[in-house]
Structure 1
């Protein structure tokens, strides 16, 4: 969660082993064929749902000179963590590229991170933006969920989403599209996953396991109100839609 006025207690966790139990396959037939070849630390996404349309860093104007370290890659995504950015909900979607550039600068110059913390950002118009550099079709380790950055994807929704707010349906759909595309093959977005914390900044001490929803809110594992009450209430809808898209993608 990013704010112009308040800091967020998120640290970039070192790449560490993450233990999970395999989620049962969806009710559709299994995927056939050979996945595309990839390097051992640069695994390509094994798509079980089509990649959504994504606005690249080049298009929204990311400042590549701000990047401080080489990209770190991680294992196939076992979980998706949903965040909000704490921007006012009444922004104009035409202003989003400028908002992203400011957020990148804050994450690097203000928080000392290597780059934008989130792997993807979505706006209320349903547009999806490439976040952290490294290849949107790769598994890039972000700085989004303390203790659980490895083998996961961080998706941030632009807005605040307090209780009683109506969350735009295009935004909800966009998050589901990312989850359906990026989660590892055979994962049901409606299931749970067992992961082990890599530091003490999360609700779970370092080295301890946690049973999480495959699609979780930031607050579910870190002490924060992110992603806002209204957006957190939409997580069951996001899980169901992501599952539907993955099933449809297998036919």
Structure 2
């Protein structure tokens, strides 16, 4: 993986937290932690797996029309709960339709055909960065959660590229990206119980990586915690004053919400790239949906996150989970990319605008499905707190410099809402029309939580 070094934040006058948090993180990593009881984790106990199966041209009896089509049918395979399709070139688009049906491991019945979201290039590290240019990075569809399954049938059909308006040229031929593969992800067992060793073999955690990830949150919770507890507004202000010398006398900050840590949702820290990468500050929050479907229960949310994490790292070649935070339909908040929930961790969520921003994804698909009120409230509480750490007004606007994308060329200074949807920085449907319509509520509620 690229970008494995531990990078401390750059300092700036407008950064409220970079200096003290960066020092806290380094100090935490330098502590003489007790060695684990077992030196070598039991690799056979690592939960979860990813299988990558090459797609093949479909037989004539399964072909619809004359466009290029590939697919795969497999029954009686090892269980999986999340699927997607990946290909070799991360800059290549899959212009076409991807459909999948799966067989339930519980009932043995096959589902109907489900569409997989193909427009997923809008997520990821910024162009030209070490993470984006890593040789292991691949293109991929969005992941789809299908619950516990043991059979799969997938078909991919190419469609002609649209002809630019005013062009005399005909439509470009329908082609599929090279190296199409079906990705089957088993997220593994549930997260470790409170009090279990940080590098317990059942979670597949290498002690060094697990210790480093937990240490980045010791400024806000105990080492090895499975959740960061919520605080009152007064306690949050006191914490801000304790952590940051430049904190306002009367800060605008929302009460810190409860956040399930990576250890809490069962992240296998041996999967991700080593070290942590930071930016100067958090000036904006981009809201996303995972486009992974809504057929999950809230108790399954940690499994869904473990599946997306494996998909981002193992199938797509990213250094870690792309989002900084996630929220489920019941309003539970989860730590995403490692590095510390209170720090300005560089994510891979909004292509072109990852620097000085954070990305939070609501688990599910919200094109036509309305997001749950609990999820909208959680977005408001999270942004009120995290943006408050950096002095940002959720109702305001800010300037970000584009790292390159299909809306704004690299180097362009862009004025955006402090709380924006993914589509504000990149031409995409994300975070879905129904969720995007709720961002006004998120902004006003977050400002109210901040006491503005």
Q: TM-score, normalising length from structure 2?
A: 0.47
How far 1:201 sits from its partner (Å)? 2.4
Equivalent residue number for residue 177 of structure 1: 381
Equivalent residue number for residue 55 of structure 1: 260
How far 1:7 sits from its partner (Å)? 5.6
Quick check: which one's strand share is greater? 2
Going from structure 1 to structure 2, the CA distance change for 1:235 and 1:33 (only over 3 Å counts) comes to closer
Superimposed CA distance per residue, residues 140-180 of structure 1 (whole angstroms, 9 cap, x where no aligned partner): 110001111111110000011123x3321100000111111
Going from structure 1 to structure 2, the CA distance change for 1:124 and 1:208 (only over 3 Å counts) comes to same
How far 1:11 sits from its partner (Å)? 3.2
Higher relative contact order (CA 8 A, sep 6+): 1
2:252–2:391 contact (8 Å) kept in structure 1? no
Equivalent residue number for residue 211 of structure 1: 415
Whether 1:12 and 2:125 are equivalent positions in the alignment is yes
Superimposed CA distance per residue, residues 100-139 of structure 1 (whole angstroms, 9 cap, x where no aligned partner): 1110011001111110000000000000011001111211
Structure 2 unaligned residues grouped into runs of 5+: 1-81, 85-115, 131-236, 245-250
Equivalent residue number for residue 227 of structure 1: 431
Whether 1:166 and 2:279 are equivalent positions in the alignment is no
Equivalent residue number for residue 192 of structure 1: 397
Task: Determine the C-alpha separation between the residues in 1 that align with 2:360 and 2:284.
Answer: 11
Superimposed CA distance per residue, residues 183-228 of structure 1 (whole angstroms, 9 cap, x where no aligned partner): 1543221111111112x22411000111111100001111210000
Q: 2:291 aligns with which of 86, 89, 103?
A: 86
Task: Determine the C-alpha separation between the residues in 1 that align with 2:344 and 2:299.
Answer: 29
Structure 1 unaligned residues grouped into runs of 5+: 16-30, 39-45
Task: Determine the C-alpha separation between the residues in 2 that align with 1:51 and 1:212.
Answer: 25
3-state SS of 2:334 partner: strand
1:142–1:149 contact (8 Å) kept in structure 2? yes
1:3–1:87 contact (8 Å) kept in structure 2? no
Whether 1:237 and 2:349 are equivalent positions in the alignment is no
Worse-matched range after superposition: 137-146 or 118-127: 137-146
Worse-matched range after superposition: 114-123 or 68-77: 68-77
Worse-matched range after superposition: 6-15 or 149-158: 6-15
Equivalent residue number for residue 143 of structure 1: 348
1:47–1:182 contact (8 Å) kept in structure 2? no
Task: Determine the C-alpha separation between the residues in 2 that align with 1:11 and 1:101.
Answer: 18
Structure number with larger C-alpha Rg: 2
Going from structure 1 to structure 2, the CA distance change for 1:146 and 1:34 (only over 3 Å counts) comes to closer
RMSD (Å), alpha carbons: 2.5
How far 1:75 sits from its partner (Å)? 1.9
How far 1:69 sits from its partner (Å)? 3.5
Going from structure 1 to structure 2, the CA distance change for 1:107 and 1:72 (only over 3 Å counts) comes to same
Task: Determine the C-alpha separation between the residues in 2 that align with 1:134 and 1:62.
Answer: 13
2:283–2:418 contact (8 Å) kept in structure 1? yes
Task: Determine the C-alpha separation between the residues in 2 that align with 1:34 and 1:130.
Answer: 19
Going from structure 1 to structure 2, the CA distance change for 1:47 and 1:66 (only over 3 Å counts) comes to farther
1:47–1:185 contact (8 Å) kept in structure 2? no
Q: TM-score, normalising length from structure 1?
A: 0.82
